[in-house]
């Protein structure tokens, strides 16, 4: 059975989509079958793996609305072992339409259960909010990864997110747990980066934080405009090496989760 991991942070600009895309690609390169679910109306995860949004027949929106089966909307990317449930701006309508559903936070969960066994790992790129769509991402997954930029107020934002996770765990997803926090856009030359990292490390258990840190790297920033994950765009860059190491950590933790499911 596959493991579903949601990449979440209600704060924008923390490399959430970048982490979802590059992690999915790096895991695929390691031989695992991966589905990347784009749950953000901006559709950056979709374009980030070279999928043309104008050519899509079905998207995550159609799946969440129950209008098509998830397998009908899945698109194969050009990258090894990587498929996508793509998104477009249409998904923004889902936030409004879902309000009328009885089980409005469980639509993605119901959909992914239909295809969970078809993949080793499913990675959900959640939008930067704690609205209905994001709650669907939390309700559907087995574990969450929180990308965290080392800046003031990061700890406060993490506390708010984990409070929401606790509510979801108590209501719609009893098995939900934190897989880990990953530091992104790290520049240890900056005093504030070092101070925030130390503060977070003092707050959370050691095993709640991934050993791998994602550096601030210009090649990571360039890759999305070329529609390629960093491990393909510049496989020898520091950014690519970091995401390969993070993929190894995630796969190790996912294997333990898989045995529990």
- pLDDT tens-digit series, residues 83-120: 999 999 999 998 889 988 999 999 999 999 999 999 99
Q: 261: pLDDT confidence band, cut at 50, 70 and 90?
A: confident
Mean pLDDT score of the chain: 94
User: Is the per-residue pLDDT at 1 higher than 70?
Assistant: no
Q: What is the mean pLDDT of residues 35-53?
A: 97
Other CB atoms closer than 10 Å to residue 155's CB: what's the count? 15
Distance between CA atoms of residues 214 and 184, nearest Å: 5
Q: What is the pLDDT of residues 123-134, one digit of tens each?
A: 999 999 989 999
* DSSP code of residue 55: G
Kindly tell me if the per-residue pLDDT of 38 is higher than 70.
yes
Question: In this structure, what token pair is assigned to residue 120?
Answer: 């080793």
What's residue 58's pLDDT? 98
Contact indicator for 1, 114 with CB cutoff of 8 Å: no
Q: Kindly state the DSSP code that residue 142 receives in the 8-state scheme.
A: S
CA-to-CA separations, 38 to 12, 126, 170, 209, 220, in angstroms, rounded: 15, 7, 25, 24, 19
Number of domain units in the chain: 1
Q: Which CATH number covers residue 120?
A: 3.40.50.300
Tokens standing for 223?
């890759």
Distance separating alpha carbons of residues 29 and 26, to the nearest angstrom: 5
* Owning domain of residue 209: 3-260
76 vs 36: CA distance, rounded Å: 10
pTM value is: 0.96
Q: What is the mean predicted confidence (pLDDT) over 142-164?
A: 88
Per the CB < 8 A criterion, the answer to whether 98 and 132 are in contact is: yes
* pLDDT tens-digit series, residues 185-233: 998 888 888 888 888 888 889 999 999 999 999 999 999 999 999 999 9
The pLDDT of residue 150: 83
Only one residue has tokens 């994602």, namely: 214
Q: Is 65 helix (H, G, I), strand (E, B) or coil?
A: coil
Q: Is beta strand 82-85 parallel, antiparallel or unpaired with respect to 121-126?
A: unpaired
- Asked if 183 contacts 197 with a C-beta cutoff of 8 angstroms, the reply is yes
Geometric angle at alpha carbon 39, from 221 and 26, rounded to 5°: 50
31 pLDDT above the threshold of 70: yes
**Residues 50, 55: Cα–Cα separation, whole Å:** 12
- Nearest 5°: phi and psi at 222? -75, -35
Rg over alpha carbons for the chain, rounded to the nearest Å, is: 17
**E strand or H helix at 196, and its extent?**
helix 191-203
Q: Determine the pLDDT at residue 78.
A: 97
Confidence (pLDDT) at 166: 94
């Amino acid at each position: 059975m596959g493991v579903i991991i949601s990449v979440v942070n209600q704060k924008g600009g923390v490399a959430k989509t970048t982490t979802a895309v590059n992690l999915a690609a790096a895991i695929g390169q390691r031989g695992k079958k991966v589905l990347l679910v784009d749950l953000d109306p901006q559709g950056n995860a979709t374009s980030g793996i070279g999928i043309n949004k104008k050519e899509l027949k079905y998207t995550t929106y159609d799946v969440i609305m129950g209008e098509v089966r998830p397998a009908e909307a899945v698109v194969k990317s050009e990258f090894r072992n990587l498929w996508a449930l793509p998104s477009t701006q249409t998904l923004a309508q889902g936030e409004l339409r879902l309000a009328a559903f009885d089980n409005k936070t469980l639509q993605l969960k119901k959909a992914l259960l239909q295809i969970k066994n078809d993949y080793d790992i499913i990675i959900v790129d959640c939008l930067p909010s704690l609205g209905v769509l994001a709650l669907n991402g939390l309700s559907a997954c087995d574990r969450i990864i929180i990308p965290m930029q080392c800046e003031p107020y990061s700890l406060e934002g993490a506390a708010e997110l984990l409070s929401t996770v606790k509510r979801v765990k108590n209501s719609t997803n009893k098995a939900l747990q934190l897989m880990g926090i990953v530091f992104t856009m790290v520049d240890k030359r900056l005093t504030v980066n070092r101070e925030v990292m130390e503060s977070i490390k003092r707050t959370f258990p050691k095993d709640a934080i991934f050993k791998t840190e994602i550096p601030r790297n210009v090649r990571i920033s360039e890759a999305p405009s070329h529609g390629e994950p960093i491990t393909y765009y510049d496989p020898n860059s520091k950014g690519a090496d970091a995401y390969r190491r993070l993929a190894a950590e995630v796969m190790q933790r996912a294997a333990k989760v898989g045995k529990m499911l």
